[in-house]
Structure 1
Amino acid sequence: MSIAELGALGDIVASFGVIATLIYLALQMRQNTKALRLSTSHALTGDLRSMFSLLASDQGLAEVLVEAGHKTQLGGPTRIRYFTFTSNLLRIYENAYLLKRENSISEAHWSGMTQLVIDYKSMAAFPAYWEDRKHWLSAEFRAYMDTEILPTPPRPGVTIPGSV
C-alpha cells in the first residue's frame, strides 16, 4: 500500500471519528436539553407549591381568596393580600410563558399551568386586579392574557372559591 493510499485510508478513518463525535455531541445536547426542561419544570412547580402551601396553612389568606371569589371589589388589607397573591401567581405564569416561548418547559406542564390561570381569573375580584395592576407585567404577556386567557371560560364544573 502506498503512502497516498494510507493517507486516504487515514482520512476515511478520521471522517468516521468526526461523525461518531458529532453523534455523541448531539446525544449529549439532547440529554442536557431534557435535564434543563426537567429542572425548569421542577422550579416552577416548587414556586407554585410554595404559594399553595402558604394558602393552605394561612386561614386568613384562604378567607381572602374566598371573598375574592364572590366580591368584585375588595378593600383594605383584603385587597392588598389578594393583589399580592395574584401578582405572585401571574409572575410565575409569566415566567412559564417566557420559558414556553423558548421551548424550555413541556406542553403538559404548560397546559396545566394555563388551566390553573384560566380558572383563577374567573374569580369575581380578578377583573379589578387586572385593570389596576396589569401594567406590572410585560406588554407581550399582557397581550397574551388579553387574547388567549381572559376570553377563555373555566372548564365546566370548576368551583371558584366563594362561589358555593
Structure 2
Amino acid sequence: MGWSQISAFADILGATAVILSLIYLAYQIKDARRSFVAGAQQQLGGDFSSFMESIWSDEEVFALWYKSLNTPEKLSETEKTRFGMMMFSMFAHFSNVFELARIDNSFLERYAPVMDRMLSMPHIQGWWQRNAHGFSERSEFRRYIDEQVAEHTGKPKHEATKPT
C-alpha cells in the first residue's frame, strides 16, 4: 500500500467522520426542537390555565367575565376597562401561540378553537376593532385575527376591522 492509497483511505475516513458528525448534529437539533416545543406547550398551557383560573376562581372576576360576554351593554366604564385588560392579556397569549406556530403548527391547532369561539362574539370583535392598534400593524398575528373577524362578521377585511 503506497502513500497515495493511505491518503485516499484517510480522506474517506475523514469524509465519513464529517457525515456522521452532521447526522449526529441533525439528530441533536431535532431532539432540541422537540424539547423546546414540549416545554413551550407546557408553559403556554400553564399560562392559559392560570389566566382562566384567575377568572373562574374569583367570584367578582367571573361575574365581570360572564357579564362582559353575555350582556356587554350593561357594563360600567370601569368594568369595560377591566374587561379590556383581560382581553389584552388573552390576545397577548394568543399572539405568543401564533408566533410559536411558526415552529410547530400544533400550537395554533390547539388554540384555534378557543380563539375562534372568542372571535365569534360580537363584543370581542368590537374589542379587537377598537384595540388592534396594540399589536403591530405589520404582524402576521394581527392580519390573522383581522381575517378571522372578517370571516365572523361577513364583511371584507378592511371593513371588519374598522373601529366601531
Same fold? TM cut 0.5: yes
Contact 1:65 1:82 in 2 (8 A): yes
One-letter amino acid of the counterpart of residue 112, structure 1: R
Structure 1's 149 and 20: CA in aligned 2 closer, same or farther, altered over 3 A? farther
Q: Which residue of 2 aligns with 1:110?
A: 108
Structure having the higher helix fraction is 2
For residues 5-41 of structure 1, the C-alpha deviation after alignment (integer angstroms, 9 at most, x for no partner) is 1111111111111111111111111111111111221
> Normalising by the residue count of structure 2, what TM-score does the alignment of the two structures yield?
0.82
RMSD: 1.9
Unaligned residue ranges in structure 2 (runs of 5+): 154-164
2:100 is equivalent to residue 99 of structure 1: yes
Instruction: Please identify runs of 4+ aligned residues in structure 1 that moved more than 4 A.
Output: none
Contact 1:71 1:124 in 2 (8 A): no
Structure 1's 142 and 85: CA in aligned 2 closer, same or farther, altered over 3 A? same
Q: Distance in 1 between matches of 2:143 and 2:96?
A: 15
User: 3-state DSSP class of the match of 2:151?
Assistant: coil
Q: Which residue of 1 aligns with 2:129?
A: 131
Structure 1's 17 and 127: CA in aligned 2 closer, same or farther, altered over 3 A? closer
> Normalising by the residue count of structure 1, what TM-score does the alignment of the two structures yield?
0.82
The residue correspondences of 1:1-164 to structure 2 (distance < 5 A) are 1-73=1-73, 74-100=75-101, 102-103=102-103, 105-107=104-106, 109-139=107-137, 140=139, 141-152=141-152
Structure 1's 148 and 76: CA in aligned 2 closer, same or farther, altered over 3 A? closer
Percent identical among aligned pairs is 21
Higher relative contact order (CA 8 A, sep 6+): 1
- State the number of aligned residues: 150
